[in-house]
Amino acid sequence: MAYTIALAGKGGVGKTTIAGMLIKYMVKNGKKPILAVDADSNYNLNEVLGVNVPDTLGNAREDMKKGKVPPGMTKDIFISMRLEEAVIETGDYDLIVMGQPEGTGCYCAANTLLLNCLERLSDNYPYIVMDNEAGMEHISRLTTRNVDVLIIVGDASRRGLQAAFRINKLASELNIGVTKSCLILNQVKNTIPDEMKQLIADEGLDLVGTVPEDEEVYEFDSSGRPTIELSDENPAQLAAYEIFDRILD
């Protein structure tokens, strides 16, 4: 059974950047091979990792709906084939992207396809890192379930904390099989005020560390350069590594 780490948080807190740092850390420390999962319809984990995405699960489903299944091939076999083709191999980790269906409407079908894909692939990897969409829908749709560690990424703002608290509460109420939840505060400018620490403690959420606001990370994001290429001395990355040491000890 794969050791699964899922990341959640509201939009704009740098969740995907933290996911990329986590994957880089795990590879560096021999925790591989990894199945990296971008469970966001508006995917960009590949940009953080510097990986091109030739196909997504959403594309596979759309092609099936449009009747692009080859003659003599069943839909099940077609989807199985496309699932295998959608896995992007890099050596130390593989990446699978949910993507989005065309047009408007619910992403539930693409989400179900992702869950089926994970069930097929999970036994092939000792580690899974899942970067979820912003917000809470991935929890209510049960994309995030049966995970060893749920990392909730927030920022040092009241709204950021409230979003983190709601995610943690929903995960607990739905009993989705999260062994451990923890909080990382990202893009922190200064120290965390004592009253904010008390709010977190009162919520019963484990604050495992903070990652400082960093100009190099900002420049990488602004220019579209993969943050997985950050220098080994980067302060934000080093702070994240110290947190991962504690989480994955």
47: tokens are 């940009």
| pLDDT tier at 172, thresholds 50, 70, 90 | confident
Averaged pLDDT for residues 138-145: 51
Taking CA atoms, 56 is separated from 147, 153, 177, in Å, by: 23, 25, 27
Contact 191, 239 (CB under 8 A): no
Question: Can you tell me the distance from the alpha carbon of 83 to that of 44, in angstroms, rounded to the nearest whole number?
Answer: 19
169: tokens are 């509460």
Averaged pLDDT for residues 232-243: 96
204: tokens are 């019963």
| pLDDT tier at 2, thresholds 50, 70, 90 | confident
Averaged pLDDT for residues 9-17: 90
Query: Is it true that the peptide bond before 235 is cis, omega within 30 degrees of 0?
Result: no
Q: Is the pLDDT of residue 245 over 80?
A: yes
Contact 118, 2 (CB under 8 A): no
Q: What CATH number is associated with residue 175?
A: 3.40.50.300
Which domain does 88 fall in, by range? Answer: 3-247
| pLDDT tier at 137, thresholds 50, 70, 90 | low
Structure-token match 């927030």, residue found: 154
- Overall pTM > 0.85: yes
Question: Can you tell me the distance from the alpha carbon of 118 to that of 147, in angstroms, rounded to the nearest whole number?
Answer: 12
| pLDDT tier at 140, thresholds 50, 70, 90 | very low
pLDDT of residue 173: 77
Contact 158, 34 (CB under 8 A): no
Q: Which of 38-47, 138-147, 195-204, 235-244 has the lowest mean pLDDT?
A: 138-147
Task: Give kind and range of the element (H or E) at residue 95.
Answer: strand 93-97
Report residue 136: phi and psi, to 5°.
-125, -5
Half-sphere exposure of 138 (CA within 13 A, CB side): 28
- The residue count of the chain comes to 249
Q: Is the pLDDT of residue 143 over 80?
A: no
Contact 137, 156 (CB under 8 A): no
Task: Domain count for the chain, please give it.
Answer: 1
Q: CA angle, 143 as apex, 6 and 151 as ends, to 5°?
A: 20
Count Cβ atoms within 10 A of the Cβ of residue 6 and give its class: 0-12 exposed, 13-18 middle, 19 or more buried. Answer: buried
85: tokens are 């083709």
226: tokens are 């993969």
Q: Is the pLDDT of residue 214 over 80?
A: yes
Structure-token match 């960093």, residue found: 214
Averaged pLDDT for residues 185-199: 90
More confident residue, 45 or 106: 45
pLDDT of residue 216: 96
